[in-house]
Structure formats: C-alpha cells, structure tokens
Amino acid sequence: MPVRRVGRALPGAVRADLATGDGLAAALDGATTVVSCAHARHTGRLLAALPQGVERLVLMGSAWRYSRVPNPRADEVRAAESAFLASGRSGVMLHATMIYGGAQENNIQRLIAALRRLPVLPAPGGGRQTVQPIHVDDVVACLGAAVRHDWRGPQALAIAGPKLSWRRMATLCAGAIGRHSPIIALPAAPMIGALALANRLGLRALDANVIRRFREDVDIDLASMTRTLGVTPRDFATGIRQAVDEWRRAGVI
C-alpha cells in the first residue's frame, strides 16, 4: 500500500515516488485494484508502472478539466485523461468539483477567513455564477463505489454536489460561523485587467484567471454519478455545517 507520508504508514506500506517513479513498480507488484488520489499529472508514470494483472484502476482527476479558462492545471488533467482513455485499462478517472471539508481543504477555509476578517465580502460579477462544491465524505463514497464497480474499459466521470450560486454558498458559509456579511458586487472586467497586468509584471498575489473563473458556471449533471456509483451528494447547507463543526473540534477555525 503506497502512502503519502511514510512516517504515518500502516504496517505493510511500501515507499514509492510518483514524481520520479522510484519504487513504483515494486509497490504495485501483485496488485489487482489500484486507487490513486494523487494529482492527475502523475497518471502517465502510474500507467507505465502498472502490472498486467491490474483489473481495475481508479484515478482522481479534477473538474478543472471542463474549464474554458486557460490554466496549466486544467491542461495537465486533460492530458492525464487522454493518456488514461488511450491506455485501454479498465477503470475510471473521477473529475471532482471543488472539494470541501477535511483537514487539507483550503478553498472554503479561505472564504471563511475572509468572512471573519472583512466587514463586507467583495464578489466579482456579484457572485451569481453556479458552483457545485462536493463534500469530502461524498468523494470518499464515490471512490469506494468506483472500486466495487465493474468497469469495462477506461471511462471518465464527473462528480459534484448540488448546484447553487457562489453568492448563496458564501451566505451559507457565513451562517455556519454565525456571521452576516453583506456581499458587494464588483465588476469583473477591471479586476481581470488589473490583475493580468500585475501578472505580466511578475506580481503573483492573485492570478487573473481566478477572477475569470467567476464568469464560468459549473454545469455537471448528477444523474451519471448517482446512477453509476449510487452516491447522492449532500446539499451544501448540510455539508458546510458538518465541515465547520469538524474544523472547530480540530481547532482549524
């Protein structure tokens, strides 16, 4: 069982480096099912090291794959998906939308930090774009279901939570921490122009493409996810309350 942190490994764990491929073939020797939660950029190296006896491969991609905003991360996921689909290996690459909850999450935690710090919350374009954040426990449920599913050839599948506006998501985050933060709409175009100029000058405090994403609606049909994997994702109002409770118990927020 390859793991991320060797110091916390369970008995029987082995060490392998996806970045270099060192030890990867030995770690996968004898495996019949392989699940990788590593970044999709490592897919090619993983495919090259897979033994012939692997019957099922479950990979994590990203819903960045569907974005029309230029982004190197999205390009890496698309390249990984293409390599996987061309491999002929039976399994699935799961393209998750923004994952929230859990110790390593930072998108919603940054939003909550802003809600605590700012008297009003600025939102490019008013925050009216559609988002579909998915709770980490629902992602885990999808991974478990994917391991049990009888895949025939390689497939790609988007996994997401129910739709809501970014504005509604921010409001629910504020409510979960007992705050009421007015949301102020800001025009996106001037912000994109100013940040793009700053990026060209070498200033990387914020990528202009982050603001460009505010113009994109996430539009993922949940029918394929629920039909194929049998997972019905929780609504964000429920999920954010659970996440905030867990973060408070862990001392994260």
pLDDT of 110-137, one tens digit each? 899 999 999 999 888 889 999 999 999 9
121 - beta bridge partners? Answer: 183
3-state secondary structure of 16: coil
157 - beta bridge partners? Answer: 94
Q: In the chain, where does DSSP find H-type helix?
A: 24-28, 43-49, 72-87, 107-117, 136-148, 166-176, 188-200, 208-212, 223-229, 236-250
pLDDT band at 13 (very low <50, low <70, confident <90, very high): confident
Predicted model pTM: 0.89
User: What whole-number distance in Å separates Cα of residue 18 and Cα of residue 36?
Assistant: 10
